[in-house]
């Protein structure tokens, strides 16, 4: 079945209360392809959130716990994630290929494992201050590609990267290697103060080959979140239609 604009949208349920999460699942369920459960909601509400989304919506579920620990611990944690019935889960790429392999092993093909390459609120300056080699601080995409290679070698389903890096990753690792892109800012939602740094618009991201776009605040903080999600879906569809050969 052809993917529609809404299928690209991942809405992060960045809330502490199940009530708020529930009301957004109800409101946005018909307008997005996937809900993302992050640390805030999972720490506060636990696996019950997964059951709530399953019962209320046909959207897929992405458990974004961004695991990062010794390989054995990640294996054990991912084995528990695999029992929850979610579609995607994340692990940081910043440790080792071994840790990523153990995450994939723990997932037991029941959940797709995504490697987080470099958070989109990081940039060259952050890398420089963090003690990274100059080649990465001057060109963060190099680090993203290195980490994508690690995720690919370990058998991950794909990576989380910025829209700016999606095309390079697709070219190198093939269409089937998923690219999930946060840091999305539609032109109508741009503000001067934003913690996200390596940002792209929804149109730019899909044209670069992003498979899924994590879009939080531009939708959540809009006056009419459902209308904002529909607007993003329309932007995606228009961009993809224009990119097709005449
Ligand atoms: O669109 P907005 O900036 O509100 O999206 C925030 C969401 O994106 C949070 O849930 C955060 O965890 C997620 N995120 C991510 N990976 C990044 C950056 C943000 O999953 N590299």
Task: Convert the pLDDT of each residue in 19-45 to its tens digit.
Answer: 999 999 999 999 999 999 999 999 999
* pLDDT tens digits, one per residue of 109-161: 999 999 999 998 888 999 999 999 999 999 999 999 999 999 999 999 999 99
Which is it for strands 9-12 and 158-160: parallel, antiparallel or unpaired?
unpaired
* pLDDT tens digits, one per residue of 161-196: 988 899 999 999 999 999 999 999 999 987 767 666
Q: Which domain holds residue 65?
A: 5-238
The percentage of the chain sitting over the pLDDT mark of 70, rounded to a whole number, equals 96
CA of 13 to the centre of ligand 1 (A): 10
Tokens of 17: 């209360």
> Is 174 exposed, middle or buried, given 0-12, 13-18 or 19+ CB atoms closer than 10 A?
exposed
Inter-helix orientation angle 97-107/71-82, to 10°: 20
Q: Is position 245 within any domain?
A: no
Active-site annotation holder among 2, 3, 66, 142: 66
CA-proximal residue: ligand 1, atom 19 (nearest): 182
**Catalytic site residue 66?**
yes
* pLDDT tens digits, one per residue of 77-113: 999 999 999 999 999 999 999 999 999 999 999 999 9
CA-proximal residue: ligand 1, atom 9 (nearest): 12
- Residues 47, 69: Cα–Cα separation, whole Å: 21
Residues with CB under 6 A from ligand 1: 12, 14, 36, 38, 64, 119-120, 160, 182-183, 196, 214-217
Residue 216 pLDDT: 96
CA of 100 to the centre of ligand 1 (A): 21
Q: Is position 211 within any domain?
A: yes
CA of 235 to the centre of ligand 1 (A): 20
Length of the chain: 246
Q: Is position 175 within any domain?
A: yes
Nearest to 140 by CA among 128, 123, 165: 123
Q: Is position 184 within any domain?
A: yes
E strands, 20-143, where? 34-37, 60-67, 88-92, 112-116
Domain count, the chain: 1
Average pLDDT, the chain: 94
CATH number of the domain at 23, please.
3.20.20.70
Q: Which atom of ligand 1 is nearest to the CA of 184?
A: 1
Interval 56-81 mean pLDDT? 98
CA-proximal residue: ligand 1, atom 21 (nearest): 119
Q: Is position 243 within any domain?
A: no
């Amino acid at each position: 079945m052809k993917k529609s604009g809404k299928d690209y949208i991942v809405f992060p349920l960045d809330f502490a209360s199940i009530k708020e999460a529930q009301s957004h699942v109800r409101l946005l369920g018909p307008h997005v392809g996937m809900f993302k459960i992050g640390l805030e909601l999972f720490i506060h509400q636990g696996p019950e959130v997964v059951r709530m989304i399953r019962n209320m919506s046909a959207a897929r579920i992405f458990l974004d716990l961004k695991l990062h620990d010794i390989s054995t611990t990640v294996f054990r944690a991912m084995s528990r994630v695999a029992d929850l019935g979610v579609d995607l889960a994340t692990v940081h790429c910043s440790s080792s290929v071994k840790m990523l392999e153990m995450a994939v092993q723990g997932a037991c093909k029941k959940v797709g494992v995504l490697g987080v390459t470099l958070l989109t609120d990081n940039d060259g300056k952050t890398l420089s201050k963090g003690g990274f080699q100059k080649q990465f601080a001057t060109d963060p995409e190099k680090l993203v590609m290195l980490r994508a290679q690690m995720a690919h070698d370990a058998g991950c389903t794909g990576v989380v990267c910025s829209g700016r890096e999606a095309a390079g990753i697709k070219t190198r690792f093939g269409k089937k290697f998923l690219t999930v892109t946060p840091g999305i800012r539609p032109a109508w939602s741009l503000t001067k103060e934003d913690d996200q740094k390596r940002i792209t618009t929804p149109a730019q991201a899909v044209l670069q080959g992003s498979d899924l776009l994590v879009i939080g605040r531009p939708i959540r903080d809009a006056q009419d979140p459902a209308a904002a999600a529909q607007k993003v879906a329309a932007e995606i569809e228009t961009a993809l239609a224009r990119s097709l050969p005449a």
